[in-house]
């Protein structure tokens, strides 16, 4: 009987064979499919797009205010005594001798027709309102585009995290199976007196630790797969997803921190939206100041006036130009100006805060690239080293010169090397995606 020691290649093969067993009847899902499904059905992204469409409609509504209003109106009245069906005018006195008795009196009256109102000067309400609505539309569109790039990064990062855990789960499952065989072999050697009982107990202890580790990784994988499903706007399937590896090593961007900062400050959609919020605040201040200006409008109506007491319906129409000069409204307009000025200052501070946040994220993104690149290279080296150390410790144990503790540590290192490689690769890929998201959202994919 011999204790089995697998090389890194054998461990990787065992892990690959173990994946279908771990996943069961899992639903196939590639990285690009997950990305597309998230961009199509993510609830937060859909809400951002609908908000953008609503802002576009509000901008159109603001423009349409220039055309004024035309309304159909109607009224039914019943009075305690007869009243004039239509306003008094000189043409009602067709027969001066009859006096007031000839006028159209009626207790029950109906009035219906059309009224219109066309603004000529609206104290800045039309002009500034249109600009504010257009800026709001632009800001909403930019936030929707930013949300799209954010969802894209999140779902791809979550997918890669799931891949890392999937490899870890498959590796630890293979590791557990090997320890099961090692434990059986150890029990036989202990029963034959070839090994001390403590050596067999050590293998059983490591075996139980591997089982606990497998349960922990399985729980983490289920959690991350649920996150992937949520980002795609769906519930996770009962057996999870069968994810496809993305083994390509990504190309790293060559920009410096300063160059990346300039790119981000010029192109970040959320920063553009923040700048447009400052512009909105400025125009709202203009609107508050223009509330002191006069207003001018054209208004009129065309009405039919009827009552059972008169023979024919009476037509009336009216046309007028109306001027309104605001004099006193408490201190409401003064306070509106003060409030709008503070809102403008607050928006400017928010813009400055967003710029600092962007520059901080750029520094973090560049740092992640460097750190994950080193992690990936270390993972490759750890994978090769783990196989060699396990082989050497196995030979020592077979020859009677090795220690059980060293062998078990080498087996654990072989497992860590296999999982560390995939973890480093996917961390590097996600770091490149994060750089794209932070420094030039969607720049590599538009």
pLDDT digits (tens, 9 = 90+) for 312-334: 899 999 999 999 988 888 788 89
Q: What percent of the chain has pLDDT over 90?
A: 53
Q: What per-residue confidence (pLDDT) applies to 434?
A: 95
Whether residue 123 is predicted with pLDDT greater than 90 in this model: the reply is no
Q: Is residue 112 part of a domain?
A: yes
Give the pairing type, strands 27-29 and 241-243.
parallel
Whether residue 135 is predicted with pLDDT greater than 80 in this model: the reply is yes
Distance set, CA 339 to CA 143, 168, 274, 286 (Å): 26, 57, 19, 12
- Which distant-in-sequence residues (6+ apart) come within 8 Å of 209 by Cβ? none
Give me the domain span that covers residue 184.
8-439
Q: Is residue 355 part of a domain?
A: yes
Whether residue 1 is predicted with pLDDT greater than 70 in this model: the reply is no
Q: What per-residue confidence (pLDDT) applies to 262?
A: 92
Q: What angle do CA 121, 140, 430 make, to 5 degrees?
A: 160
Average pLDDT, the chain: 85
Q: Is residue 445 part of a domain?
A: no
Q: In this structure, what CATH number is given to the domain that contains residue 321?
A: 1.20.1600.10
Q: Is residue 55 part of a domain?
A: yes
Task: List, for residues 15-69, the tens digit of each pLDDT value.
Answer: 444 444 444 577 899 999 999 999 999 999 999 999 999 999 999 998 898 899 9
Q: What mean pLDDT comes out for the span 278-299?
A: 92
Q: Mean pLDDT lowest for which of 80-84, 103-107, 431-435, 437-441?
A: 437-441
Q: Mean pLDDT lowest for which of 112-121, 273-282, 419-428?
A: 419-428
Q: Is residue 3 part of a domain?
A: no
Closest CA to 247 of 6, 10, 12: 12
Whether residue 13 is predicted with pLDDT greater than 50 in this model: the reply is no
**Three-class DSSP category at 171:** helix
175's tokens: 């590791």
Closest CA to 108 of 81, 73, 148: 81
Residue 362 pLDDT level (bands cut at 50, 70, 90): very high
Which residues pair with residue 73 across a beta bridge?
113
Q: What mean pLDDT comes out for the span 339-360?
A: 96
What is the Cα–Cα distance from 273 to 269, expressed in whole angstroms?
6
Q: Is residue 446 part of a domain?
A: no
Of residues 409 and 431, the one with the higher pLDDT is 431
Task: List, for residues 146-186, the tens digit of each pLDDT value.
Answer: 999 999 999 999 999 999 999 889 888 877 887 888 788 78
Cα torsion 217, 218, 223, 227: sign: positive
Q: Is residue 444 part of a domain?
A: no
Q: What per-residue confidence (pLDDT) applies to 126?
A: 87
- The total of structural domains in the chain comes to 1
Q: What are the DSSP calls for 357-419, one per residue?
A: HHHHHHHHHHHHHHHHHHHHHHHHHHHHHHHHHHHHHHHHHHHT-S-HHHHHHHHHHHHHHHH
Residue 392 pLDDT level (bands cut at 50, 70, 90): low
pTM, two decimals, is 0.79
Q: What per-residue confidence (pLDDT) applies to 222?
A: 93
């Amino acid at each position: 009987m011999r204790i089995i020691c697998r090389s890194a290649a054998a461990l990787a093969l065992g892990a690959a064979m173990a994946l279908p067993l771990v996943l069961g009847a899992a639903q196939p899902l590639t990285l690009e499919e997950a990305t597309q499904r998230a961009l199509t059905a993510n609830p937060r992204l859909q809400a951002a797009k609908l908000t953008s469409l609503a802002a576009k409609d509000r901008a159109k509504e603001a423009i349409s205010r220039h055309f004024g209003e035309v309304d159909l109106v109607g009224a039914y009245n019943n009075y305690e005594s007869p009243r004039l069906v239509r306003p008094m005018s000189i043409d009602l006195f067709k027969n001066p001798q009859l006096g007031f008795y000839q006028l159209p009196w009626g207790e029950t009256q109906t009035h219906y027709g059309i009224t219109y109102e066309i603004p000529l000067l609206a104290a800045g309400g039309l002009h500034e309102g249109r600009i504010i609505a257009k800026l709001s539309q632009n800001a909403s569109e930019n936030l929707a585009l930013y949300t799209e790039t954010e969802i894209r990064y999140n779902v791809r990062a979550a997918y890669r995290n799931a891949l890392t855990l999937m490899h870890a789960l498959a590796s630890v499952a293979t590791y557990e199976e090997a320890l099961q065989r090692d434990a059986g072999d150890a029990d036989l050697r202990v029963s034959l007196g070839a090994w001390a009982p403590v050596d067999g107990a050590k293998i059983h202890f490591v075996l139980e630790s591997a089982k606990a580790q497998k349960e922990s990784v399985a729980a983490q994988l289920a959690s991350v797969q649920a996150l992937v499903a949520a980002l795609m706007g769906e519930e996770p399937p009962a057996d999870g997803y069968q994810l496809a590896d993305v083994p390509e090593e990504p190309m790293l961007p060559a920009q410096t921190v300063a160059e990346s900062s300039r790119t981000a400050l010029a192109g970040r959609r959320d920063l553009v939206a923040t700048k447009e919020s400052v512009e909105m605040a400025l125009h709202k201040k203009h609107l508050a100041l223009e509330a002191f200006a006069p207003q001018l409008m054209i208004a009129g109506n065309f009405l039919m006036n009827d009552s059972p007491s008169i023979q024919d319906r009476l037509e009336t129409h009216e046309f007028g130009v109306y001027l309104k000069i605001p004099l006193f409204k408490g201190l409401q307009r003064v306070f509106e100006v003060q409030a709008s000025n503070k809102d403008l200052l607050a928006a400017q501070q928010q813009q400055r805060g967003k710029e600092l946040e962007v520059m901080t994220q750029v520094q973090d993104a560049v740092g992640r690239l460097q750190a994950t690149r080193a992690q990936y290279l270390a993972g490759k080296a750890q994978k090769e080293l783990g196989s060699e150390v396990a082989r050497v410790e196995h030979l020592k144990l077979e020859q009677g010169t090795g220690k059980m503790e060293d062998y078990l540590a080498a087996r654990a290192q072989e497992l860590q090397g296999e999982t560390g490689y995939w973890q480093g690769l996917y961390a590097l890929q996600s770091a490149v995606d994060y750089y794209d998201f932070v420094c030039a959202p969607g720049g590599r994919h538009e």
